[in-house]
Amino acid sequence: MTEPGRGLRRVAIGIEYDGTRYNGWQMQPHAPSIQATLNDALSQVADETVACVGAGRTDTGVHAAGQVVHFDTGAERTARSWLLGLNSNLPSDISVQWAMAVPGDFHARYSATSRVYRYRILNQQARSALEHNRAWWVRQPLDVAAMRAAAGYFIGKHDFSAFRAAACQSKSPIRTLTRLEVSGEGTMLCFEIEANAFLHHMVRNMLGTLVRIGRGEAEPVWVRDLLAAQDRKLAGMTAPAAGLTLMAVRYPSVFGLPNVQVA
């Protein structure tokens, strides 16, 4: 875990963004990314080159309401100056919500204890113009009770090989899922998922499997069988990115970061 060099101080910020027009969080050589856009704004405000580190590497088209970022800088700015200065230099689809100085051993990614994602499904006959980039439109009626029963099999410490992307670079497929809540209001279904960490495409692959169960193509116990089989080819499709939002990142209280409530 890297710490600031001599004469540098570490700052953490909380950001939200609409990921529709970006190639994900991570910098890309020939495509716009959240990280590159934020680095540019940070460098403008600090009047020096700044490189930031994010808590989660969200994919192309994925959104965030509670992404946490840290950076090291020699610039002396108040929390308010970082907040106002960054938002003045960022496009309207990326917004800083808070900023604060943090200890040198704080790391946005490695200090996190858990992450919370929310996935939304619009379950109705007609497509929605307003939810086009915010939810997965599924026309077929979904059995919410069956999906909720299936979700229970994901809870706990498991090998999630059946739900990781082929390009996933994590050394271990073992993850601990502490919460998967399924709720609905009208035609909108919400899936709130919390784990210590996630594999590449893990949430979206889980949702593709849950939708198959909701359509009646498999029984809820299929999730248990998939976890045991550890074979990605057997599980459901990868759900679209647009329905996914990083809602919050949790940290030990010693760092004093804002206690973000997941609404």
Tell me how far apart the alpha carbons of residues 192 and 148 are, in angstroms, rounded to a whole number: 11
**pLDDT at 86 exceeding the cut of 80:** yes
**pLDDT at 263 exceeding the cut of 60:** no
Q: Which pair of structure tokens corresponds to residue 260?
A: 């973000």
Q: Which pair of structure tokens corresponds to residue 113?
A: 């204890």
Q: Which positions ≥6 away from 23 have C-beta within 8 Å?
A: 31, 32, 33, 60
Burial (CB count within 10 angstroms: exposed 0-12, middle 13-18, buried 19+), residue 160: buried
**pLDDT at 234 exceeding the cut of 60:** yes
Span 16-49, pLDDT tens digits: 999 999 999 999 888 999 999 999 999 999 999 9
Q: Does 18 participate in catalysis according to the annotation?
A: no
Residue 91 and residue 162 in contact, taking contact as beta carbons nearer than 8 Å: no
- Radius of gyration, CA atoms only, the chain: 19
Instruction: Provide the pLDDT for residue 30.
Output: 87
* Residue range 174-201: mean pLDDT, rounded: 95
Instruction: Provide the pLDDT for residue 42.
Output: 98
Q: Which pair of structure tokens corresponds to residue 243?
A: 């329905």
- The Cβ of residue 161 has, within 10 Å, a number of other Cβ atoms equal to 18
- Please identify which of the residues 47, 59, 105, 231 carries the catalytic annotation: 59
Span 159-179, pLDDT tens digits: 999 999 988 889 999 999 999
Domains of the chain with bracketed CATH: 9-111 (3.30.70.580), 114-246 (3.30.70.660)
Buried b (16+ CB within 10 A) or exposed e, 48-70: eebebbbbbbbbbbbbbbbbbbb
